[in-house]
Amino acid sequence: MSNGAHYEVLARKYRPQTFSELTGQEHVSRTLQNAIDSGRVAHAFLFTGARGVGKTSTARILAKTLNCEKGVTHEPCNVCPLCIEITKGTSTDVFEIDGASNTGVDDIRELRDNSKYLPSHSRYKIFIIDEVHMLSTNAFNALLKTLEEPPEHVKFIFATTEPHKLPITILSRCQRFDFKRVPLVKIIARLRQIADAEGIIVNDSALALVARKGDGSMRDSLTAFDQVLACCGSTVTDEDVITLIGAVDRRLLADISAAVFSGDAQRVLAGVKQVDGVGYNMRQFCQELIEHFRNLLVIRSVKKPEEILDLAEAELDELRRQSDGFSALDIQRRLTILIKADGEMAYATFPRLILEIALLKAATLEPVIPIQELLEKIRTLEAGAVHTPSLPWEAGRPAPTVPQRQQEAVPAAAPPRQSPAVAPAAAPPPAAATAASVRPIAGQPGWERFVAYVIEKNPAIGSVLEHGSPLKQEPGNMEIGFPAGSYFLASIQDPVSIEEIQALAKAFSGQETRLRITAITPETGANPLSLAEKKKFDLEQHQEELKREVADHPVINEALRIFGGAITEIRKA
């Protein structure tokens, strides 16, 4: 043993030899044992799953169970010559074929021809084809007939990590068993059994690091454990495991997460520097952080996290302590930042910088007020606002109408554009009652009603008249001014439009009306406002009035003070 000539690696030395020794695949073991006990053993099996979870080991155990000298039983004896031959791989009736090396149709034809002969000294000829998905299409076709109607003395067991690559014709002829990733807790328990059997002194936290390195594969975990033992001998520490297999120290994850929640930027950057110092991949570390925050989130979100998380009991207890005092929302907000950073790091030239920015952002997040607390504060505000003025749009008095606002605001704010030489238009006769429902505009009631009437009869011309200023409006005469060089002036000057407006004016007033179109210069301020200009002016006045009322309202000011908000937009519902 000292020179290593006869050393057997742990993955081979402690390979399962019975169904009861299979770790994490109890559903497969129980089904196969029941099939054997009831005599319902299929002629073809397909074992699928990740690497190192026990597919080939289960195939050997099944082969021993079917050919054991003590009879077909749900557990092999492992002491008879036939069981020993299968364990050593020397049986003449159990063939283990590597699908990656025997991909051709000729190899499968040889297998098919060989299957016709009776086994030499066993009950069954058993063909175990590993990585069966590597066979060629022609090889699969050559196997189909034999697989569908094999001789009674033949059993096929296929193993693959990629079942989606198998033809449906092969899948439909096999009983499929899906092998699961081995849970972390069971890998740790198995490593503990092996460590005790080998006389190794190691704590559970170090075994957890080794098991996590295996990522659900028992074989990978045992290989990593072998590497650790080769360096450390019979005594293994956490630091040894971290150094040898490149695992992230869970204490570093806990320290950085604590620094993030406490807002300690110094500790956050120091932690990233430490990770970079040991040469650990920054994106891989970011993914470890994401997994850590995800564990914290699950613990704060569910009552029984042990049913969700694949963690040892000691790790669960430690995470519970770390998550105390933090809400699920606090953790989720920071987890979202890290997930976004992970996506950016895939194409980044400076992954460390992206990770640092993400962690600093997570550490400086402003706290959010829980929704229940916000609702309670709103109820308090509502209760205290019983004797305060209501909101502007809920006030006892109605909101000012357009005519009221113009009567109040235009004399004080509007520029002196109304021409004193223009006399007020005469009231229209009863024939014009169709436009009487339109609200009057101070100083130009007849003009507004006429434009409304034109819009009703001819919307195209009416929309142009809205941009004109009424320079003269009296019985039999009408003069309308439009900005010089404008589109509206050009579109209204053609004879057809003038004739149409005169006809509409006659229908509106009941008498012939002569129309004159004049080009004006609005910048002089000597002409009356057009309806479009008045609408714009009214809207601006209304918005200013609402802003003043909102800014002076005590309930709104108190809400802004409590919630630390600001008014960005005012809209009337």
Q: What does the DSSP 8-state code read for residue 370?
A: -
d(CA 478, CA 500): 14
Mean pLDDT across the stretch 82-90?
A: 90
Burial of 379 (0-12, 13-18, 19+ CB in 10 A): exposed
d(CA 301, CA 428): 74
175 closest CA partner among 157, 161, 160, 162:
157
CA dihedral 101, 106, 108, 114 (to 10 degrees): -120
- Predicted confidence band of residue 419 (pLDDT cuts 50, 70, 90): very low
pLDDT at 523: 63
Structure confidence by residue, pLDDT tens digits, 336-371: 999 999 999 888 888 999 999 999 999 988 877 666
**Tokens (6 digits) for 203:** 């704590």
- Predicted confidence band of residue 125 (pLDDT cuts 50, 70, 90): very high
Only one residue has tokens 């990656």, namely 100
**Tokens (6 digits) for 6:** 């006869």
Structure confidence by residue, pLDDT tens digits, 435-450: 333 333 434 567 888 8
d(CA 528, CA 325): 68
Structure confidence by residue, pLDDT tens digits, 103-120: 778 888 888 888 888 988
pLDDT at 499: 83
Structure confidence by residue, pLDDT tens digits, 246-286: 666 777 888 899 899 888 999 999 999 988 887 788 888 89
The answer to whether 424 touches 441, Cβ cutoff 8 Å, is no
Neighbouring CB atoms inside 10 A of 158's CB total 29
Strand segments (E) across 272-403 = none
d(CA 507, CA 500): 11
pLDDT at 376: 77
Mean pLDDT across the stretch 320-337?
A: 87
User: Is residue 417 pLDDT above 50, yes or no?
Assistant: no
The answer to whether 116 touches 151, Cβ cutoff 8 Å, is yes
**Tokens (6 digits) for 460:** 């195209």
Directed axis angle between helix 250-262 and helix 313-323, to 10°? 10
438 closest CA partner among 462, 414, 460:
462
The answer to whether 46 touches 160, Cβ cutoff 8 Å, is yes
Mean pLDDT across the stretch 312-319?
A: 82
The 3 state secondary structure assigned to 318-344 is HHHHHHCCCCHHHHHHHHHHHHHHHHH
User: Is residue 61 pLDDT above 60, yes or no?
Assistant: yes
End-to-end CA distance of the chain: 86
3-class secondary structure, 421? coil
Better-scored residue on pLDDT, 361 or 569: 361
Mean pLDDT across the stretch 299-304?
A: 89
Give, in order, the Cα–Cα distances in Å from 547 to each of 343, 414, 535, 540. 44, 19, 18, 11
**Tokens (6 digits) for 35:** 């099939």
Please compute, for residue 21, the number of CA atoms within 13 A of its CA located in the half-sphere on the CB side: 17
d(CA 348, CA 384): 54
User: Is residue 498 pLDDT above 60, yes or no?
Assistant: yes
pLDDT averaged over every residue in the chain: 80
- Predicted confidence band of residue 486 (pLDDT cuts 50, 70, 90): confident
d(CA 387, CA 149): 91
Structure confidence by residue, pLDDT tens digits, 184-235: 889 999 999 999 998 989 888 888 888 888 888 899 999 989 888 888 888 8
User: Is residue 46 pLDDT above 90, yes or no?
Assistant: yes
d(CA 312, CA 211): 10
pLDDT at 306: 84
Indicate the pairing of strand 477-483 with strand 154-160.
unpaired
d(CA 308, CA 258): 23
pLDDT at 525: 61
d(CA 191, CA 221): 8
**Amino acid letter, residue 132:** V
Structure confidence by residue, pLDDT tens digits, 370-398: 667 767 777 777 676 544 444 444 444 44
Q: What is the DSSP string of 129-179?
A: EETGGGS-HHHHHHHHHHHHS--TTEEEEEEES-GGGS-HHHHTTSEEEEP
pLDDT at 19: 92
Q: What does the DSSP 8-state code read for residue 74?
A: S
Give me the domains of the chain, ranges plus CATH numbers: 10-178 (3.40.50.300), 184-245 (1.10.8.60), 250-363 (1.20.272.10), 370-396+529-573 (no CATH), 415-527 (3.30.300.180)
- Predicted confidence band of residue 472 (pLDDT cuts 50, 70, 90): confident
pLDDT at 395: 44
- Predicted confidence band of residue 455 (pLDDT cuts 50, 70, 90): confident
CA dihedral 208, 213, 215, 220 (to 10 degrees): -110
- As a whole number of Å, the CA-based R_g of the chain is 43
Range scoring the smallest mean pLDDT among 94-98, 136-140, 220-224, 306-310: 306-310
Could you tell me how many residues make up the chain?
573
**Tokens (6 digits) for 532:** 């479009």
pLDDT at 1: 43
Structure confidence by residue, pLDDT tens digits, 511-547: 888 888 888 876 666 677 777 788 888 888 888 888 8
The answer to whether 492 touches 498, Cβ cutoff 8 Å, is yes
Query: What is the pTM assigned to this prediction?
Result: 0.58
Per cent of the chain over pLDDT 90 is 23
